[in-house]
Structure 1
Amino acid sequence: MDAQLLPYRTMARNNSWANHRLLTACEGLSQAEFTAPRTGFFPSLRATLNHILVIDRFYVDAMEGGTLGPAAWADPEPCATVAALKAAQAAVDARLMAVVDGLNAAGLARIVSVHRGSRIQHERMDRLLLHLFQHDIHHRGQAHAMLSGTGVAPPQLDEFYASEEAPLRAGEFAALGWTEEKVWRGMA
Structure 2
Amino acid sequence: MTYDPTRVFKKLARNNRLANLRLHQACLQLTAEELVAPRTSFFPTIRETLNHIYLVDMFYLDAMKGGSLGPKVFDVSEPYTDMETLAQVQAALDMDLISFVDGLDGEMLSATVHVYRGARVQQDRCDDILSHLFQHQTHHRGQVHAMLSGTRLKPPQLDEFLVGDDAPVRKTELQALGWRETDLMFPV
- TM-score, normalising length from structure 1? 0.95
Distance 2:72 2:164 in 1: 41
Distance 2:177 2:112 in 1: 30
What amino acid does structure 2 have at the position aligned with 1:114? V
Trace 1:95-106 onto structure 2 (pairs within 5 A): 95-106=96-107
- For 1:119, the equivalent position in structure 2 comes to 120
- For 2:15, the equivalent position in structure 1 comes to 14
- For 2:56, the equivalent position in structure 1 comes to 55
Gaps of 5+ in 2: none
Runs in 1 of length 4+ with deviation above 6 angstroms?
none
> CA contact under 8 A between 1:52 and 1:136: conserved in structure 2?
yes
What amino acid does structure 2 have at the position aligned with 1:129? L
What amino acid does structure 2 have at the position aligned with 1:69? G
Distance 2:38 2:180 in 1: 38
CA distances 1:4-26 after superposition (whole Å, capped 9, x unpaired): 11101000110111111101111
Gaps of 5+ in 1: none
Q: Using the TM superposition, name which of 11-20 and 178-187 deviates more.
A: 178-187
- For 1:110, the equivalent position in structure 2 comes to 111
- For 1:161, the equivalent position in structure 2 comes to 162
- For 2:176, the equivalent position in structure 1 comes to 175
- TM-score, normalising length from structure 2? 0.95
How many positions carry a matched residue from both structures?
187
- For 2:74, the equivalent position in structure 1 comes to 73
What amino acid does structure 1 have at the position aligned with 2:167? A
Trace 1:87-98 onto structure 2 (pairs within 5 A): 87-98=88-99
> CA contact under 8 A between 2:58 and 2:93: conserved in structure 1?
yes
Q: Percent identity over the alignment? A: 49
Deviation at 1:119, TM superposition (A): 1.1
> CA contact under 8 A between 2:11 and 2:162: conserved in structure 1?
no
> CA contact under 8 A between 2:116 and 2:122: conserved in structure 1?
yes
> CA contact under 8 A between 1:2 and 1:105: conserved in structure 2?
no
Deviation at 1:91, TM superposition (A): 1.1
CA distances 1:109-135 after superposition (whole Å, capped 9, x unpaired): 011111111111111000000000001
Trace 1:146-157 onto structure 2 (pairs within 5 A): 146-157=147-158
Deviation at 1:2, TM superposition (A): 5.3
